[in-house]
Structure 1
Amino acid sequence: MKLLIIGGTGKTGRQLIKQGLEQGHELTVLVRKSGKVKVNHPKLRILQGDVLKPETMTAAFKDQNAVLSALGHKRFIIRTTILSRGTANIIEAMENSRVNRLVCITSLGINDSRFRLGLYYTLFTIPFILFFYFQDKAKQEKMIMNSDLEWTIVRPGQLFNGKKRRKYKLGPKEGHYIFTKFISRADVAHFMLQEVQDRKYLNKAVGITY
């Protein structure tokens, strides 16, 4: 497939690039700074653009079969709208380019998965550290759900840099109210690439943990 990856310089995005190339896909990666992608491959194209500046990213969506978004940032404590504004621009660009399939990573603990990231996150991390970030993620999800795209929202548990096991739990009720469930970025990428083709969770938000 011809896949556009957004957020390819992040840790999950790097796994999407690595595994996408291993699977033989033709990848376009949209990045703000092209030098941050340290991979050279005949099926990899790097385009410089900013999701907050729609005019810089239009070309990236041309002739794509699907978009994989691992969009994120590190501005957690201050009020932010980067995810929701960026996603609004992604949706508009997809509609204008007639690209219908979107697989986007968010997180457990958002909207109807609230409290499912465990007590530590529910009572401390989200309200005191990630409040604005998760608030923006919630808006991001609702924008995707209200769009006319063929979307899948992927809600991982706590991410870590483990190996790809290819064995994980999936479902709308995944996660735990008391204990924090974990998942490797490699397995999240594995599922996203699988789902973009299988479409098992079309127009659904699905949790993923071990």
Structure 2
Amino acid sequence: MKLLVIGGTGKTGHELIKQGLAQGHVITAVVRKPKKIKYSNPNLYVEKGDVLVPKSFERLVKGQDAVLSALGHKQFIIRTTILSRGTKNIVSAMSRNQVKRFICITSLGINDSKFKLGLYYTLFTIPFILYFYFLDKSKQEKIIMDSALEWTIVRPGQLTNGKKRTIYKHGSNVGHYILTKMISRADVAHFMLYILNTNSYLKSTVGITN
């Protein structure tokens, strides 16, 4: 498939590119700093773009079979709208170019998965450290859900840099109200690529943890 990857310089985005290429997909990675992509492949196209500037990436959406977003940022403790504004631009560009399939990472602990990141996140991390970040993720999800795209929102538990195991739990009831469940970025990327080839979780949210 021809896949557009947003957020390719992040650790999850890196896994999406690496695993997608290994599966034979043709990957176009939209990144603000192309030099951060350190490897090359005949099926990899690295393009400079910013999701907050639609004209910088919209031409790259045309002709893609799907868009995979691992969009994130590090502005956790200040008010931010990068995720929601960026996702709104992605959704609009996909709609204008008639690209339907969209898979996007957010997190457990948002909207109807509230509290499912465990007590530590529920009582401390989200309200005191990640409040604005999670608020923006919640807005991001609503933009996707309100679209006419064939979307899937993937909600991982606490992300780790562990190896790809391909053994994990996924579904609407994944997560825990007391314990913080984890999942490697490599396994999240594996799952996103897996559901590209199925009709599983179309227009649905899905949690994923070990």
Instruction: Calculate the TM-score normalised by the size of structure 2.
Output: 0.99
State the SS of the aligned residue for 2:125: helix
Please give the residue correspondences for 1:116-131 in structure 2 after superposition, counting only pairs within 5 Å. 116-131=116-131
For 2:197 and 2:10, the matched residues in 1 are separated by 23
Please give the residue correspondences for 1:137-148 in structure 2 after superposition, counting only pairs within 5 Å. 137-148=137-148
Corresponding residue for residue 86 of structure 1:
86
State the SS of the aligned residue for 2:155: strand
Are 2:29 and 1:29 aligned?
yes
Question: How many angstroms does 1:199 deviate by?
Answer: 2.4
For 1:58 and 1:139, the matched residues in 2 are separated by 22
Corresponding residue for residue 133 of structure 2:
133
Corresponding residue for residue 201 of structure 2:
201
Task: Provide, for residues 162-194 of structure 1, a one-character-per-residue CA deviation record: whole Å limited to 9, x for no partner.
Answer: 111111001111100000000000000000001
CA contact (8 A) 1:109 1:116 kept: yes
Between the aligned residues of both structures, percent identity stands at 68
Corresponding residue for residue 160 of structure 2:
160
Question: How many angstroms does 1:198 deviate by?
Answer: 1.0
Counterpart residue identity of residue 171, structure 1: G
For 1:55 and 1:63, the matched residues in 2 are separated by 16
Counterpart residue identity of residue 125, structure 1: T
Please give the residue correspondences for 1:1-210 in structure 2 after superposition, counting only pairs within 5 Å. 1-210=1-210
For 2:23 and 2:55, the matched residues in 1 are separated by 31
Question: How many angstroms does 1:197 deviate by?
Answer: 1.6
Question: How many angstroms does 1:155 deviate by?
Answer: 0.2
| Equivalences, count | 210
Task: Provide, for residues 109-129 of structure 1, a one-character-per-residue CA deviation record: whole Å limited to 9, x for no partner.
Answer: 000000000000000000000
For 1:52 and 1:74, the matched residues in 2 are separated by 16
Specify every segment of 5 or more residues in structure 2 that has no aligned partner in the other structure, as ranges. Answer: none
Q: CA RMSD in A?
A: 0.5
Question: How many angstroms does 1:196 deviate by?
Answer: 1.4
Counterpart residue identity of residue 84, structure 1: S
For 1:62 and 1:171, the matched residues in 2 are separated by 31
State the SS of the aligned residue for 2:194: helix
Task: Provide, for residues 124-174 of structure 1, a one-character-per-residue CA deviation record: whole Å limited to 9, x for no partner.
Answer: 000000000000000000110010000000000000011111110011111
